[in-house]
């Protein structure tokens, strides 16, 4: 479904990604793990069209997408749930959800996906008229997740969904990510919490200073001595 072919990205004079190649199959969960500054978020931003490639190619469902405007990439079916949520805090929960459907004209299907977001996270339905700023951090993460659902994507890009939220909410978010995959969606999950990432994923990539240091079956990487020592604290 998604192929990154030797992509290179620069921020100013810094080479943030140094020839990354990743293959993502439909319906799978792929994890990107690594320390701060490893290039994980940059990788997602490159897929979303938020940062340009210096070189390399990105293909999605048989179409080359690097160089496309971000809104075209969203319309093709890629939803990015960014680190920090990036909500419209003075708008209601309901209106924040509808921003995810901004590019859509299929009202009946939008209503279907709105109900799906409320099914995934009932608290959003209960608080639909509240300002997003009144939600807890975990509830705001649910809202960011729900907003992505409203764009009708095939591929979700999650950037640090467990960051700064309570463990009980982390479990809920993790369960919903697994449910997405069970329903046929494809997920790329960026996580500093390697334990969560490797439990959810089928395949994982370990990024270090802009390069892929390790890759393979997530369960095998979970038992890798280096990964256990450096990323799992074992």
Q: What is the pLDDT of residues 23-46, one digit of tens each?
A: 999 999 999 999 888 999 999 999
Mean pLDDT value across residues 100-129: 93
Do β-strands 78-81 and 155-159 pair in parallel, antiparallel, or remain unpaired?
parallel
- The CATH code of the domain at 1-77+153-166+185-234 is 3.40.50.300
Measured CA to CA in angstroms, residue 55 lies from 12, 26, 38 at distances of: 15, 25, 18
**CA distance linking residue 18 with residue 38, whole number of Å:** 11
Quick one: pLDDT band at residue 112, thresholds 50, 70, 90? very high
**CA distance linking residue 192 with residue 229, whole number of Å:** 14
String of DSSP letters for 83-137: TT----TTSBHHHHHHHTTTT---HHHHHHHHHHHHHH-HHHHHTTTSBGGGS-H
Which tokens go with 32?
Answer: 């990107």
**Range(s) for CATH 3.40.50.300 in the chain?**
1-77+153-166+185-234
What radius of gyration do the chain's Cα atoms show? 17
Mean pLDDT value across residues 5-10: 97
Q: What is the pLDDT of residues 120-174, one digit of tens each?
A: 999 999 999 999 999 999 999 999 999 999 999 999 999 999 988 889 999 999 9
Measured CA to CA in angstroms, residue 164 lies from 66, 138, 234 at distances of: 31, 8, 22
How high is the mean pLDDT of the chain?
94
74: enclosing H helix or E strand: helix 70-76
Q: What is the pLDDT of residues 55-93, one digit of tens each?
A: 999 999 999 999 999 999 999 999 999 987 789 989 999
The whole-number pLDDT of residue 198 equals 95
């Amino acid at each position: 479904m998604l192929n990154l072919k030797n992509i290179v990205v620069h921020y100013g004079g810094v080479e943030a990604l140094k020839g990354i190649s990743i293959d993502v199959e439909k319906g799978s969960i792929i994890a990107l793990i690594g320390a701060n500054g490893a290039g994980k978020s940059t990788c997602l931003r490159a897929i979303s069209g938020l940062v340009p490639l210096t070189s390399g190619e990105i293909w999605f469902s048989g179409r080359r997408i690097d160089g496309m405007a971000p809104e075209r990439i969203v319309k093709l079916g890629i939803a990015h749930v960014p680190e920090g949520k990036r909500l419209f805090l003075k708008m209601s929960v309901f209106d924040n959800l509808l921003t995810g459907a901004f590019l859509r004209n299929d009202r009946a299907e939008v209503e279907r996906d709105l109900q799906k977001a409320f099914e995934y996270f009932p608290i959003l339905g209960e608080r639909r008229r509240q300002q997003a700023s009144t939600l807890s951090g975990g509830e705001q993460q649910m809202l960011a997740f729900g907003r992505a659902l409203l764009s009708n994507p095939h591929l979700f890009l999650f950037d640090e969904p467990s960051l700064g939220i309570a463990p009980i909410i982390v479990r809920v978010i993790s369960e919903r990510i697994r449910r997405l995959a069970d329903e046929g969606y494809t997920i790329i999950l960026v996580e500093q919490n390697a334990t969560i990432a490797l439990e959810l994923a089928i395949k994982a990539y370990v990024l270090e200073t802009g390069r892929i240091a390790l890759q393979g079956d997530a369960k095998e990487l979970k038992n890798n001595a280096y990964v256990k020592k450096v990323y799992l604290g074992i």
